[in-house]
A and B are shown apart, each in its own frame.
Chain A
Amino acid sequence: MRVRHVAALSCLLAASSFGLAACGSDNNDSGSSGTSTSASSGSKSLTIYSSLPLQGDSRAQSLSVVNGEKLALESQGNKIGNYAIKYVSLDDSTAAAGKWDPGATSGDARKAAQDKSTIGYLGEFNSGASAISIPILNEANILQVSPSNTATGLTRSLGADKGEPDKYYPSGKRTYGRVVPADHIQGAAQVSYQKDNGCTKSYLLNDKEVYGSGLAKNVVAAAKTQGLTIVGNTGIDPKAANYRSVATTIKATGADCVFFGGITDNNAVQLFKDLHAAMPTAKLFGPDGVAETAFTSKLGSSVEKVTYITNPTLDPKLYPASGQEFFKKYKAKYGADPEAYAIYGYEAMGVLLEAIKNAGAKGNDRQAVIDAFFKIKNRESVIGTYSIDENGVTTLSVYGGDRVVDGKLVFDKVIKAQTS
């Protein structure tokens, strides 16, 4: 009898770990490129932490963002005024999960919160991860700037879940900002892009994360204003072996376009392949969460032709001279073109450094730096001139549409989104 109990018990264990892929893994600082030395606040050395998923499918994208951040810091000579700035890159993913992990994320945030020399925190890459690190850093009163979060609920209540965004800010004060437009803008851009490409009935899928399901909701809202029929919105199991039954069901609804709100790590390549096999003529749309080589290079020529991606990064030619300079400098230094979000990594670091600079003599005072960040107006940056609004969000709202050619993301056009 004992045998059976062991089997049943281990099976329950197995079942419960099904949803918690991270069992027993806590290597949250395996990607750390330096160690933190504790310096009292008031010292001349300050630390900026970066926290990004350095394992799994997002690895290439994340490394490219880290490179962008480093470039921006180097362009200031690694110092602002009298303060030497140290940069530490942390990893918010685990190998077992193959993507960002809640435990690793809170570990990173705690590490930064406990380091007295910390002045800023760049991250996370994924909105769901930021939902975990924002409260920790908020209590420690550390300015956090994300290079890539787009989920609306992190900063505004309109179109967000109940309790958002206030539940992320236990201190009652805002400490978080971002340099990419939030997803109510991407949702509108996505719907415009679908309509531009002749979609009449669209089916939505999402990966159930804060980012993916939030974006799908924004697409639903935008579709209502712009008059696009949505025939379904379903979450997928990101760990499924394939999506053949799902694809067959979508085909039966008569949808001519399918949108996936989600990230590459959540099995996007397999999903796109199975959708295309079941519906060869349907157009497949993805968001900025799949605007990376790990996704585009694996689709194959046939799926590429029906793939459309919205992405806040535009063609280099559309950026101001400093932006074009960034692409040249990046390629010269790292020998490859940057991934889509590298320029936002550069800008996240840039705006954080400006906040420290604007705080002047109080550049080592966390509150002074936060205040300076929220006061940034008409900053001339590599991605254009923008201000930081009262929610900590960029005032830029331009989105691009991309196609995939020979495994690479190719800029298609600027999308004129009709936002409500």
Chain B
Amino acid sequence: MEAASITETASAGPPARKLSDVVNAYALPLLLVLALVAQFAHSPHDTLDDVKTGLSNGTIWALIALGYTLVYGIVELINFAHGEVFMIGSFVSVSLWATFGVDEGTAMPLMIGSIIVVLALAMLASGTLNVLIERVAYRPLRNAPKLAPLITAIGMSFILQNVGLLWRPTPDSAPDLIGSQKDYFTIFNVGIEHSDVFAVVVTVPLLIALLWFVGSTRYGKAMRATAQDPDAARLMGIDVDRTIQLTFLLGGLMAGAAGLIYALYNGTIRFNQGFTAGLIAFTAAVMGGIGNLKGAVIGGLIIGVIQAISDSGDYLGLPLGPQWTPAVVFGVLIMVMVFRPQGLFGEETREG
């Protein structure tokens, strides 16, 4: 897959690497893997179970993280409203199922059909919303100081949260169409649930499609060129505004899909789910190296696994627990940032 990073130099050959660079690049991932292996040796079955839960949770974070990383890569803006775009994706999905009258009792083929149709519609809704946000709150500020769009982004986030609050003031249940927590099959004594399979089956094709789009199409090339140097890209005849719009659309599509998966996976949706999810996904994007698509995905999966292990309350005999999970996640983030400010898979981005 060519150019997994949106900010990667488009045509330069592989840079010469010094040994210290290689050590620097692989030491931290290795350390994280070692930490996991140690935990596995400590209690094999629990760890496998946590890794399973963590990875499937992580796919949702990964999809949202992609939106942050795409947008940051191209306009160097942290789209704080992205978490809310994801929340709207959940709300649209559940509302559509209610409108179509689809619930647990619907016949299987119809149900699968409805999931596919609603997935497309939710993605479209979130994508459109993200494009609108860009048009209204970010584009007029393209040449303003960096802080201005940051503040409008936080503003959009709160506005959308209040839209969610008006729409569904209390948590609502999503129909359990996929039998979320029923075991699909068991491997190494770990039950793989319907929701785990569902999350992977929806996420993986989307990821492959996105990587292909950014890496191998003309539009993707235009995105990478714009990310590298918007002015030069404009001189080369690239419609920069259109390209930025496209980036927001792609990020929104992923968030919409994540919204649908979240609704079916967890079974409960609430207006402030986007706030937490957004922070976690943003953390994933930063941990993986912001601007790097593969980094965002792997960052999401890593955070999912860290959360699951911390939640189950015992790391190598250290009594963790759900009350410490946010601290553990951000502790690991700080460790990664201190030793590798560009993130695990980050590359040098455009000099500011």
Contacts and interface: CB of A to CB of B under 8 A. Distances in A.
A25 B158 contact: yes
Given A8-B337, A24-B154, A237 B325 contact: yes
B322 A236 contact: yes
Contacts of A332: none
A246 B50 CA distance: 10
A234 B323 contact: yes
Interface stretch (A12-20, A318-326, A384-392): A12-20
B273 interface: yes
B262 A10 contact: no
Given A3-B349, A234-B322, A237-B326, A270 B171 contact: yes
A57 interface: yes
Contacts of A18: 276, 279, 326, 330
A243 interface: yes
Interface in B19-38: none
B217 interface: no
A241 B72 contact: no
A298 B268 contact: yes
B170 interface: yes
Contacts, number: 157
Interface string B252-282: 0000000000100111101111011101001
Interface string B312-352: 11100000011101100010010001000110000001111
A287 to B, nearest CB: 18
A170 B215 CA distance: 65
A368 B42 CA distance: 65
Given A96-B272, A277-B181, A19 B170 contact: no
B62 interface: no
Interface string B58-78: 001000000000001000101
B57 A243 contact: no
B311 A240 contact: yes
Q: Which of A57, A208, A248 has the most CB of B within 10 A?
A: A248
Interface string A48-77: 000000011101100000000000000000
Given A96-B272, A242-B266, A7 B171 contact: no
Given A6-B76, A8-B337, A248-B49, A241 B171 contact: no
A298 B322 contact: no
A3 B78 CA distance: 11
B322 A237 contact: yes
B150 interface: yes
A2 B275 CA distance: 26
A26 B171 CA distance: 23
Interface string A220-260: 00000000000000111101111111101100100000000
Nearest to B196: A244
B163 to A, nearest CB: 10
A95 interface: yes
B308 interface: yes
Contacts of B341: 4, 8
B157 to A, nearest CB: 9
A21 interface: yes
A245 B311 contact: yes
B272 A98 contact: yes
A274 B173 CA distance: 13
A98 B270 contact: yes
Q: How large is the interface on A (under 10, 10 to 19, 20 to 34, 35 or more residues)?
A: 35 or more
Q: Which of A242, A243, A245 has the most CB of B within 10 A?
A: A245
Contacts of B44: none
Interface residues of B, number: 63
Contacts of A417: none
A14 B282 contact: yes
B311 A3 contact: no
Nearest to B165: A95
B283 interface: yes
B173 A300 contact: yes
A6 B146 contact: yes
Contacts of A243: 311, 322
A18 B273 CA distance: 12
Interface in A389-420: none
A267 B170 CA distance: 11
A283 to B, nearest CB: 18
A55 B325 contact: no
B323 A208 contact: yes
Contacts of B313: 234, 246, 249
Contacts of A273: 267-268
A10 B276 contact: no
A235 B161 contact: no
A244 B53 contact: yes
A120 B267 CA distance: 43
B323 A98 contact: no
B244 interface: no
A151 interface: no
A239 B266 CA distance: 13
A420 B276 CA distance: 42
Given A245-B50, A245-B53, A11 B283 contact: yes
Contacts of A119: none
Contact of B342 (A2, A4, A98, A252): A4
Interface of A: 1-4, 6-8, 10-11, 14-15, 17-19, 21, 24-25, 55-57, 59-60, 95-98, 208, 234-237, 239-246, 248-249, 252, 267, 269-270, 273-274, 277-278, 294, 298, 300
30 contacts: A3-B350, A3-B352, A6-B146, A10-B150, A18-B276, A18-B330, A19-B326, A25-B158, A55-B169, A60-B170, A95-B158, A95-B161, A208-B323, A236-B323, A240-B325, A241-B266, A243-B311, A244-B53, A244-B308, A245-B309, A246-B312, A248-B46, A249-B311, A269-B171, A270-B171, A277-B180, A277-B181, A294-B170, A298-B170, A298-B171
- 9 tightest A-B contacts by CB? A235-B323, A277-B181, A2-B352, A245-B311, A239-B276, A294-B170, A245-B312, A245-B308, A249-B312
Given A4-B341, A97-B272, 8 more contacts: A4-B342, A21-B275, A98-B165, A237-B311, A240-B322, A241-B276, A270-B171, A298-B173
